[in-house]
Structure 1
């Protein structure tokens, strides 16, 4: 599996790197995203034509994958400038201009949404033909090929971690699987991710629901079990494709911004049994967005707004697993304090898992946490547990990412909660609501030990800094010298 994954991705990489229009991994993945979508959608339509009465495609005639992308080795397939002209001036405009009405089924409406922001970056039609041929080698109607491609697709998503800002749309599979496993979704429940990125939480949920499918009714519940909203075009198309690959015929994913509606307007039928999220960190929204929230919850931090949104979209007895940065735990501005008060008094904030650093490396080094809460009763106590870096790891990386088994210490502790003290610090401890209130709602508890810096006498401190400055200056001079030499050689 892994080898096929590597070979597929490497073949695509090798072809696209030779194209003058592809500038870096982010563009390569964006280009591949819409190509994969069309191929996967075409293969799903073959199944729908058999299983659905009088099925009519929303894609105009002549623009289905099998009509233009397949190379029948008869010398008639589009390639070179002819292929570029077709894609740029006929295919993409036609898909962007598809007419969608409120009555259009989700399975059809997603086509237009998927191509609103799609672009063709490739400038060499011969290389584009080669990419199409590699993708066309996978038959998504074949269960064996589809299962194999789930691994390939996961590899493509993982590359988002190091593809510039696109990394924010990918949550490591170990995290999504652990949170889904902990919240235990059941058929008949509706799970949501209100900033779903590429759909990691959605597919982790589906993977747990699939073995529960026994009847035709179960199959229908599986098809409508997850809901997502994604603001950006590229992760949206990846998420939709991801759900199609998981046999969801009507991917209920909206291309839009969850924060653009007043939170007080949501009706009961717009609320969810389970919400799992890794909201954007450090972002900010337009001032008009803040007005969609009550005054006491208006924040400049996007993650805070999503947490407030969850409070309005969670059903009674619903449960949540959300990833948040350390800044939320110790933040003491008005909105953060008010959100924490509501979490303690209107919800049951039962567990906070402090996560080891570098989980999102290389995209970000921000320290993160998982907050688990439900809407069953007011909080009585909140357990904190610090998950340390596994033995043999100094940090996680693209080649050594976090794995699901690294959560084994949490799993063992979860059903047998007990206080753990290490020296002067707690690795695990329960705090009452009063203790948290008396601590000014600072949830930065059971954290990772910080190295204390030795305080030197002033004279020694000056000497140390002088040495460090001299070393730094020497390194800068060496680098500048090397650059100067290169410039002289170019002359």
Structure 2
């Protein structure tokens, strides 16, 4: 919980500044290179822990750093032409002691190629790491970065012991803070979704083990990680764990999957799926999930709006914050998308509907313009959500939620697919829509986004959503209320909260102007009487008397 740990924040800022001053000024490139180093460190740590656990339990475990490693390009060559590398020299704990220049050469030529080859030639991770490059240019920068990362891990270990927070959760906080430094976010409408908003959405949809869950524009994998942590937490609670404390936003979470049996781990590995059109974000997403304990994340490079993406009616849950701005080449739009627009914020929502199985649920963040846009495509999308889906909730968010990246006003749409795209709608699926106006999310709504006391409306939204009742939630002056579908139809499928919310105007009674002027004159006369009684009929008092005379 980095907001409460200035030492950890300071160490991460130091690391960031070292890369900046060392010549790597592109934030995304710096994040990528730092991630590689964090991954090397964590790989060594996990391997040592698994070895210790195996010795304690008597189970058999083969270290990833045992034996020799042959480069993929040399494996089919005669043995005399191969250059075997002792895997033990590839450990973080080994190479960090080398002199700076020797360390840089060793990491570039041996450690990083080994990491790229880690999961075998057929793994998704290896496939996307194929073109990754290690470009830390200076030996001293690498040496300083390694030293700082060791210090960061020491602080994380201490916090884990003292505060009882799972090490993987602290590591996730560190990684999320690094991701938050991506100053180029906002490019093509992409920016990081705050973790507490991800947790809110996850609590609304409540994913379960065995469900197929997707984020079709996954970025660094935040929603997939959120679903994973929710599932693992619920399993831990079900198995009797009682010592998981709420975090600073009121959510109970852990990402430690060590207690899962093989069957659960196997099911979990086939649960989470993500796609993104930025290969760098795909790599970051893969390593983000791997550092949280997911060994083989199913994240891939794919434009889910394009003709080349054929998946349909496959997923139980979709959670997403797709790009808000921009448009796609009309000729490349998937034929199954029928809205007749190139606006990505509309196409993604229609595509999410397409990806859902019947009975599947989606929770997606959209710009508020989607709720009331007057264009034909806007209205057609809203009608699709009301008629072919059960549109359960529209939650408006304050405009500062995505600062410092953007100040756009957004909303959360929560819906369950009832009718398929080719079905004849016998009856509109939506009966009532639940609206909630979030006014605070527990953080300041300026660019700093400082943590404030309490949880804002986060926990209230969860409680009231799961307890919603159209027979009770009728007060439209309240924060939340329900609106019948028939009224929404009459309003041209407008889903803006302001269309249905009733404002309360408090009647204020003011004194007559003459009474107010008498009070002003009395106040002035009192002050002047103490100073100089001769001045009573001059200055401001005289002007007030003249004004009172004009009023009669």
TM-score by length of 1: 0.75
For the 8 Å contact 2:208–2:231, the answer to whether it is kept is yes
Q: How does 1:116-127 map to 2 (within 5 A)?
A: 116-118=131-133, 120=135, 122-127=136-141
Unaligned runs of 5+ in 2: 72-83, 240-260, 420-428, 504-552
**Stretch deviating more after TM superposition (205-214 or 391-400):** 391-400
Task: Work out the CA distance in 1 between the residues paired with 2:88 and 2:495.
Answer: 52
Deviation at 1:372, TM superposition (A): 0.4
Which SS does the other structure have where 2:185 is aligned?
Answer: helix
Match of 1:237 among 267, 283, 297: 283
For the 8 Å contact 2:220–2:282, the answer to whether it is kept is yes
For the 8 Å contact 1:382–1:433, the answer to whether it is kept is yes
Which SS does the other structure have where 1:280 is aligned?
Answer: coil
Q: How does 1:213-362 map to 2 (within 5 A)?
A: 215-261=261-307, 265-266=310-311, 271-290=314-333, 292-294=334-336, 296-362=338-404
Task: Work out the CA distance in 2 between the residues paired with 1:261 and 1:403.
Answer: 46
Task: Work out the CA distance in 1 between the residues paired with 2:443 and 2:34.
Answer: 36
C-alpha change, 1:251 and 1:150, in structure 2 (3 Å) is: same
Count of residue pairs the alignment pairs up: 433
Corresponding position of 1:9: 12
Asked if 1:114 is matched to 2:160, the reply is: no
For the 8 Å contact 1:317–1:374, the answer to whether it is kept is yes
TM-score by length of 2: 0.67
Deviation at 1:10, TM superposition (A): 3.1
Asked if 1:437 is matched to 2:439, the reply is: no
For the 8 Å contact 2:40–2:92, the answer to whether it is kept is no
For the 8 Å contact 1:277–1:322, the answer to whether it is kept is yes
Deviation at 1:203, TM superposition (A): 1.5
Corresponding position of 1:30: 32
Deviation at 1:361, TM superposition (A): 0.3
For the 8 Å contact 1:382–1:431, the answer to whether it is kept is yes
C-alpha change, 1:442 and 1:300, in structure 2 (3 Å) is: same
Match of 2:476 among 421, 429, 436: 421
For the 8 Å contact 1:419–1:430, the answer to whether it is kept is yes
Task: Return the index of the structure with the highest Cα Rg.
Answer: 2
Which SS does the other structure have where 1:185 is aligned?
Answer: coil
Report the RMSD for the aligned CA atoms in angstroms.
3.9
Deviation at 1:118, TM superposition (A): 4.4
Q: How does 1:36-55 map to 2 (within 5 A)?
A: 36-41=38-43
Task: Work out the CA distance in 1 between the residues paired with 2:21 and 2:359.
Answer: 54
Corresponding position of 2:209: 187
Task: Work out the CA distance in 2 between the residues paired with 1:365 and 1:59.
Answer: 51
Deviation at 1:30, TM superposition (A): 2.7
Deviation at 1:281, TM superposition (A): 0.9
Q: Which has the higher contact order (CA 8 A, sep 6+)?
A: 1
Task: Work out the CA distance in 2 between the residues paired with 1:117 and 1:289.
Answer: 28
Asked if 1:372 is matched to 2:423, the reply is: no
Task: Work out the CA distance in 2 between the residues paired with 1:439 and 1:53.
Answer: 64
C-alpha change, 1:219 and 1:85, in structure 2 (3 Å) is: closer
